Amino acid sequence: RAKSAGRNRLVAFVPEMTLAAQRRAQLEAELRRAIEQEALLPYYQPQFDCRTGAMVGVEALLRWPHPERGFVSPAEFIPVAEDTGLIVELGRWVLRRACADLAAWDRAGAPPLTVAVNVSARQLKEPDFLGDVLAALHASGLAPGRLELELTESLLMDDVECAVAFMHAVRAAGVRLSIDDFGTGYSSLAYLQSFPINQLKVDRKFVQSLPVAGHTIATAVIALARGFGLAVVAEGVERQEQLDWLRAAGCDHAQGFLLGMPMPAAQLLATATAPRTAALT
Ligand code: C2E
Ligand code: MG
Ligand code: MG
Ligand code: MG
């Protein structure tokens, strides 16, 4: 009986799995083509100093304008890029673009921003990922301290030894490191002591429920960052009351739709050279 039920289940699931696999194969083929044709592009979301209101940096966020489906979300195509290994080439390209764009904004008279680039676990496993990072800096002429790599807790825990070795090498080169989505992953607090990082990013989940529900964790993350001498940035700030709470709590930097959407490079330059945002004045 169990056996036949199992067989039935198998039969019932096969068409669905095939459909998902087909869709994924199609997405993979389209992504491969899009990368070849350089159809993807980074958008940049500004980050602000909570005390002074000045724009201090940007985060590079990949966008894929698809001819039929509009903008495909990175939440959809980054996992495909990771599984297929395409993320290695794509990640290398984003690093170069982000550094080149920042250098161009410098030349155009923008204030000295930092640029944060998201890194996948798969990239960290590349034997010469550090070489890619240094090559992007070298090609753009940027000082290493202008570049920040965003690593997630799960990436760090995937192979802690490898990650720690990478982090020390990157820090020795002068590049900055931050932990993205902090508080949502599986890392142990004990590791924070041995991770040579510069910054924690409070996950949007905790910011979203401020000031009523998220404040216990947000307060704890800010205190943790203080204790370790790290900077802290809140992501996903959408409402003025969230920003007011974060400023009062001593959060260093803020990023979110309230302060600025992710935008194309040219628009970021215009924003960076314009008078500061009303929410922070
Ligand atoms: P993330 O690194 O945590 O990026 C923050 C995400 O929150 C971005 O989503 C951003 O557009 C969104 N966001 C910013 N402010 C707000 C806000 O106020 N409210 C809300 N609801 N959302 C906000 P996005 O651009 O869709 O990217 C999703 C994820 O895809 C990123 O999460 C990152 O993990 C990944 N990703 C994006 N670009 C790259 C890349 O170049 N390389 C890698 N490896 N991953 C990337
Ligand atoms: Mg990020
Ligand atoms: Mg994040
Ligand atoms: Mg994320």
Q: Could you read off the pLDDT of 98-153 as tens digits, one per residue?
A: 999 999 999 999 999 999 999 999 999 998 999 999 999 999 999 999 999 999 99
Atom 43 of ligand 1: nearest residue by CA position: 118
For the question of an ipTM over 0.95, the answer is yes
Atom 12 of ligand 1: nearest residue by CA position: 236
Q: Is the pLDDT of residue 238 over 80?
A: yes
Q: Which residues of 238-255 are buried (b: 16+ CB within 10 A; e: fewer)?
A: ebeebbebbbebebbbbb
Cα gap 168→96, rounded to integer Å: 22
Q: Could you tell me if 123 and 89 are in contact, meaning their C-beta atoms sit under 8 angstroms apart? A: no
pTM of the model as a whole: 0.92
Amino acid identity at 116: A
Ligand 1 mutation target, pool 118, 149, 201, 241, most atoms within 8 A of CB: 118
* Spacing of C-alpha 153 from chain mean position: 12
Q: Is the pLDDT of residue 14 over 70?
A: no
* Residue 24 binned pLDDT confidence (cut-offs 50, 70, 90): confident
pLDDT of residue 16: 67
More confident residue, 271 or 212: 271
List 72's β-bridge partners, or say none. 64
pLDDT of residue 132: 97
Which numbered atom of ligand 1 lies nearest the CA of 152?
34
**Coil, helix or strand at residue 232:** strand
* Spacing of C-alpha 26 from chain mean position: 26
Sequence-separated (6 or more) residues with CB below 8 Å from residue 145: 114, 174, 175, 176
Phi first, then psi: give them for residue 13, nearest 5 degrees: -90, -20
pLDDT digits (tens, 9 = 90+) for 29-76: 999 999 999 999 999 999 999 999 999 999 999 999 998 889 999 999
List 47's β-bridge partners, or say none. 57
Ligand nearest to the CA of 61: 1
Cα gap 52→29, rounded to integer Å: 46
More confident residue, 186 or 94: 94
Could you say which DSSP state residue 213 is in? T
Cα 264 to ligand 4 centre (Å): 20
pLDDT of residue 4: 47
Cα gap 166→49, rounded to integer Å: 28
Ligand nearest to the CA of 59: 2
* Spacing of C-alpha 204 from chain mean position: 12
Amino acid identity at 123: Q
Helix residue spans in 159-213 (DSSP H): 160-172, 189-192, 204-208
pLDDT of residue 12: 55
Atom 30 of ligand 1: nearest residue by CA position: 74
